[in-house]
Amino acid sequence: MTRVKSGENAHRRHRKVVKAAKGYRGLRSKTFKQAKNAVMKAGQHAYAHRRTRKREFRRLWITRINAACREHGVAYSRFVDGMTKKGIELNRKMLSELAVHEPKVFKAVLDVAMG
């Protein structure tokens, strides 16, 4: 039986991994062995942080809304409770955008929710 060399396939696989490690420091961007470990670890962090990012943005939006509410003498929890009772279905992302960029519109929403 003839021998099959895997040189071409291995080289292609190695090149793909090293290309993914472009921009990494030192041997992590040069050698396959170091690059493979670095790319795998980066993938693990990317997977975990895609979920963490969602949490962090929600916290940011709530902080912004709370700050805007406090300017008008209302607590965040009371504001959200008022919105729920009035049936206003604006999500936190949109509310924070209103609070930052359209304070008059946010004040109107606040008045409706608290009124």
Domain residue ranges in the chain: 7-114
Distance CA 75, CA 65 (A): 10
Q: Give the tens place of pLDDT for each residue, 19-70.
A: 999 999 999 999 999 999 999 999 999 999 999 999 999 999 999 999 999 9
Q: Give the tens place of pLDDT for each residue, 70-87.
A: 999 999 999 999 999 999
CATH number for the domain formed by residue range(s) 7-114? 1.10.1900.20
Question: Would you say residue 115 has pLDDT above 90?
Answer: no
Element (H, E) at 34: helix 32-71
Q: Taking the model in full, what pTM does it have?
A: 0.77
For residues 16-43, b (16+ Cβ closer than 10 Å) or e, as one string? ebbebbeebeeebbeebebbbebbeeee
